[in-house]
Amino acid sequence: MEKGLSRLIGRRWADLAATRLMFVATVFVASVAVFIGIGLLLKSWPILEARPLSELLFSSVWCPSRGEFGFYPFIMGTLWVTGLAGIIALPLSLLSALYLAEYAPNKVRALVKPALDLLAGIPSVVYGIWGILALSLGGISIGFNVLAGGIVLAIMVIPVVTSVSEEVFRTVPRDIKEASLAVGATRWETAKHVVMRASLPGVAAAVVLGFSRAFGETMAVLMVVGNVARAPSSVMDPAYPLTALIANNYGEMMSVPLYDSALLLAALVLLVMVLVFNVAARLALARVQRRWA
Amino acid sequence: MNETCISIRHLSVFYGKSVALKDISLSIPGRQITAIIGPSGCGKTTLLRSINRLIESTDETRVSGEILVDGQNIMDRRLDVTALRKKIGLLAQKPSPLPMSIYDNVAYGPRIHGERDRKALDRTVQDCLQTVSLWDEVKHRLRAPASRLSVGQQQRLCLARSLAVRPEILLCDEPTSALDPVSSQTIEKKLVELKKDYTIVIVTHNIHQAIRLADYVIHLYLGELVEHGPANEVFEHPKEERTRAYINGTFLADIKFDKELDLKGTKCPYNFVYAKLALDDLAEGNILRIIVDDPTAVTELPRGMEADGYEVLNSNQLNKTDWEIVIRK
């Protein structure tokens, strides 16, 4: 009796402790994001106080030694490179994911899936070197510009988006695909109207995941993108994304007033851009979902 | 009217190395309900899915033999599968509404086949939903997602979707197994109504459903054709011992009674009269189960019922005193 009771107390105590422990772990993980945000805000506060936000965001003049900090070229650099990567990567990823999920024989899938996972695991500096050798200098020699950066970034994003979307496509119930085939739809019509539609939320999540990474990708991009602080006006122009700006300059020229604060503001701007992208994607999805659900 | 609609010649289907169907040859009559019966894994669904060539979507399937639909061999590689499937509707086991609105579900097939005219689509949607008695329930919310319907409504929607491309043949793969009794009954009623215009092939593991619906029966066992023929012949005088065993076995195992009556303690002829009164309240084809403990009733009651035109399905001793008698109206 005595033993049974103490065992019961022990079990309940362990249960309670586990619950608390998991809660603390979750709070810790979630608070990291908040602390990073607060840290960036505090560190970039000096420049936010010294300069109006509109000037910081929309001025094209970047001349720290004269105290001019216009982030416009860098914001546009990030948007151009990421946007181009999206234009290249999205159709390729979604079509190959659809092929793997719906058309490919098991053997092909068994070969391609590990290859994709391998691609996703290659360090980004390797992609950068490949970009220099294959795109910018040797190979097709397109130079150091948005195009080269976009291609390299697309190639980095493709495995992630393809792999995740393929998983999502494969969760579409066989029943509804067959329902479509059974009324005389072709496989493509079924893929287009039924599979894509049914897997939209998951695919949207895959795309958001892939591009949140693309926004912040640094190494490979800064190696091929040219790093000229001017807003690009075509894909053949060089660009200077926010990430490259921070990576190239943090720790140097720290004697220049406000420079340190400016770089942390660049990081904050990047964080906000990714956040806005995430929220916008979610809202758009919710809108579409309400119509179909 | 009852000319052969589908004829199957030496059909064999293999999944990888295993044989799903072995050399099946038979004919399915037009504008009747043909039930494919047999235990699980006997190839019922494979046979059904061969008819609209949906088995091809499974990896590593091999098929040999011929299936003629309206005299045309559908196994022909040059055949346009989409045209074939337009002619052959499918009602699946689990209701499978497409991820779109109620309206779009029904309009899906016609749109795929090129119908763009808004008015024609509206008319088809309304017609088909009326045919399956769903129109009144959904006419005010045609734009709502189909997933919001109840499971029973979803299955009727799926039936409407199949009908929207104006098929000649309707394949049903255990169409009521996921439904509640009332929804099942609605679907069965619809199938009986539809057989005047459609050739219906239904896979069922529910022998009572087969008895209620079928005009023609195919019994498969482990991929082999055991017996096929008109329903009354197969059910009443099965030629094959395996068919008899299957029908009886299923009967005792999962019989569903429409009404049960405890007549213990009543003597002949009162128990007979009570049973008759109970049967009067039942619909044609319904099943009554009575329990009696009068020894005379055990022999006399079934005899009297048969004489009055009822079918005695089973009479069975439950314990020392009680007997169970199952009668179908």
Range of the domain at B205: 4-253
CA distance B82 to B92: 18
Interchain proximity B85–A183, CB inside 8 Å: yes
Burial per residue of B291-306, b for 16 or more beta-carbon CB atoms within 10 angstroms, e otherwise: bbbbeebbeebbebbe
Residues of A with CB below 8 A from B57's CB? Answer: 177-178, 181
Distance from CA of B10 to the nearest CA of A (A): 24
Hey, CA dihedral for B257, B261, B263, B264, is it positive or negative? positive
Which of B86, B92, B101 has its CB closest to that of A184?
A: B86
Per-window interface: B 25-54 vs A, CB < 8 A = 52, 54
Would you call B287 helix, strand, or coil by DSSP?
strand
**Residue B207 and residue B308 in one domain:** no
- CA dihedral sign of residues A129, A131, A135, A137: negative
User: pLDDT digits over A35-79, tens only?
Assistant: 999 999 999 999 999 888 888 899 888 888 888 899 999 999 999
Same domain, B177 and B323: no
Q: Total domain count for chain B? A: 2
Q: Mark whether B249 and B263 lie in a shared domain.
A: no
Most A CBs within 10 Å: which of B112, B169, B174, as the mutation test of the A interface?
B112
**B27 and B173 part of one domain:** yes
Same-domain check for residues B208 and B222 = yes
Cα three-residue angle A24-A40-A271, rounded to 5 degrees: 85
Q: Which of B201, B227, B253 is the last residue of a domain?
A: B253
Residues B104 and B138 in one domain: yes
Q: Are residues B173 and B270 in the same domain?
A: no
Q: What is the pLDDT along chain B (329 residues), one digit of tens a residue?
A: 456 789 999 999 998 888 899 999 999 999 999 999 988 778 899 999 999 999 887 778 899 999 999 888 999 888 899 999 999 999 999 999 999 999 999 999 999 999 999 999 999 999 999 999 999 999 999 999 999 999 999 999 999 999 999 999 999 999 999 888 899 999 999 999 999 999 999 999 888 899 999 999 999 988 899 999 999 999 988 888 888 888 877 655 555 677 888 888 887 778 888 888 888 888 887 888 888 888 777 777 888 887 887 877 766 667 777 777 888 88
pLDDT given at position A165 = 94
Contact A47, A263 (CB under 8 A): no
Q: Whole-angstrom distance between the N-terminal and C-terminal Cα of chain B?
A: 28
Given an 8 Å threshold on Cβ–Cβ distance, is A178 in contact with B96? Answer: yes
Contact A231, A60 (CB under 8 A): yes
Question: Residue B228 sits in a domain of what CATH number?
Answer: 3.40.50.300
What percent of chain A is modeled with pLDDT above 90? 54
Whether residues B184 and B138 fall in one domain: yes
Contact yes or no for B86 and A183 at CB 8 A: yes
- Contact state of B108 with A183 under an 8 Å Cβ cutoff: yes
Do B161 and B297 lie in one domain? The reply is: no
> What per-residue confidence (pLDDT) applies to A99?
94
Distance in angstroms (rounded) separating the CA atoms of residues B298 and B315: 8
What is the bridge-based pairing of β-strands B169-173 and B72-73?
unpaired
B92–A175 C-beta distance less than 8 A: yes
B266: DSSP letter: P
**Starting at the edge strand that comes first in sequence, how are the strands of the sheet with B72-73 ordered?**
B18-29, B4-15, B61-69, B72-73
Please say which residue of B253, B287, B309 terminates a domain.
B253
Q: What one-character-per-residue DSSP string does B89-100 give?
A: EEE-SS----SS
Tell me what pLDDT residue B1 has.
Answer: 43
Site from B82, B98, B156 to mutate, A interface, most A CB atoms within 10 angstroms? B98
Q: Do both B212 and B278 map to the same domain?
A: no
Mean per-residue pLDDT of chain A: 90
Assess whether B221 and B278 both reside in one domain.
no
Q: Chain B contacts of A106, Cβ < 8 Å? A: 59
Question: What gap in Å lies between CA B179 and CA A54, rounded to an integer?
Answer: 62
Confirm if B193 and B27 have CB atoms less than 8 A apart: no
Is B164 an 8 Å CB contact of chain A?
A: yes
**Which chain B residues are within 8 Å of A173, Cβ to Cβ?**
96
Nearest by CB: A198 against B84, B85, B99: B99
Tokens of B89: 């509707």
Q: Which of B253, B271, B288 is the last residue of a domain?
A: B253
CATH number for B273:
3.30.110.40
User: Do B90 and B207 have their domain in common?
Assistant: yes
CA separation for the pair A113, A120 (Å, rounded): 11
The Cα B19–Cα B89 span in angstroms is 26
Give A98→chain B minimum CA distance, Å: 15
